Copies of this chain bind each other. A is one copy, B any other.
Amino acid sequence: MRILLKLSYNGKDFHGFQYQHNYRTVQGVIEKALKKMHKTSVRIHPSSRTDRGVHALEQYCHFDTELNIEPDQWHYILNRLLPDDISVREVKEISTDFHSRFHSKGKTYRYSIYTSESVNPFHFGLKTHYPDRLDKEKMQAAMAPFIGTHDFTSFSSAKAEIKNKVRTISEFRIEETPDGFDFVITGSGFLYNMVRIMVAYVVQVGAGKREAATEEIISRKDRTIVPRTAPAEGLYLEKVYFE
């Protein structure tokens, strides 16, 4: 039997999703709860391996089990076993053909920035502080050319080993918040650090620290033109879309 979990978690106190020996990770914490129930190790498979400090408003993972437990009970028992910075929001029994990662066809990310003059301690680990004024129109002008299908080499980490860097972005917009901006971005897939590099570039344009030249930067396919990566703490996986 294959079980699909819909999760949300606060990434602040996790060293990312993926299991790491001696570090607190989302996978480590969930697999520990599952081990308690199964008395043996159970491997989970997420839609996305979020990095250290990155949050999830919606994330999925699946696992295989021989326990004969109803979805409602999985939901209840797992939330009892899990710490309070992670929450199981839905449990479904799914076909054993289904894979959380391989059958996802797109994602929405949210990146949250606040712009008040001084640090707000209650945004600690949850939003990125940027104390300079950001020009919304300038940012939107820099964001518009991302929509469509492009080679995103200039906006991916040099560490990315993947060959095909063509991705399709269908949405990239700003939502105003009481003390700043959220960027909302939807795409078919994202390269390593791609959202954080795109946001860092857009914010630099908004702060007047560089000119918008999105088409040119994309066409140069050179990571060194956009050297910054926005901090993890502002990034939220917001939605995962399946086929």
Contacts and interface: CB of A to CB of B under 8 A. Distances in A.
Interface of A: 8-10, 12-13, 55, 79, 84-89, 118-122, 124-126, 129
Contacts of A122: 10, 55, 126
Given A84-B124, A85-B124, A124-B85, A118 B10 contact: no
A155 to B, nearest CB: 27
A65 to B, nearest CB: 22
B84 A8 contact: no
Nearest to A88: B118
Contact of A124 (B10, B88, B121): B10
Contacts of A13: 124
Contact of A121 (B85, B118, B120, B129): B85
Best-surrounded residue of A121, A122, A124, A129 (most CB of chain B within 10 A): A121
B10 A121 contact: yes
Contacts of A86: 121
A10 B122 CA distance: 6
B121 A8 contact: yes
A207 B10 CA distance: 28
A88 B8 CA distance: 32
Nearest to A121: B10
Contacts of A124: 10, 12-13, 84-85
Contacts of A129: 84
Contacts of A121: 8-10, 55, 84-87
A110 B10 CA distance: 24
A33 B40 CA distance: 48
A211 to B, nearest CB: 29
Contacts of A89: 118
Given A10-B124, A124-B10, A118 B84 contact: no
14 contacts: A8-B121, A10-B121, A10-B122, A10-B124, A13-B124, A55-B121, A55-B122, A79-B118, A84-B129, A85-B121, A87-B119, A87-B120, A88-B118, A122-B126
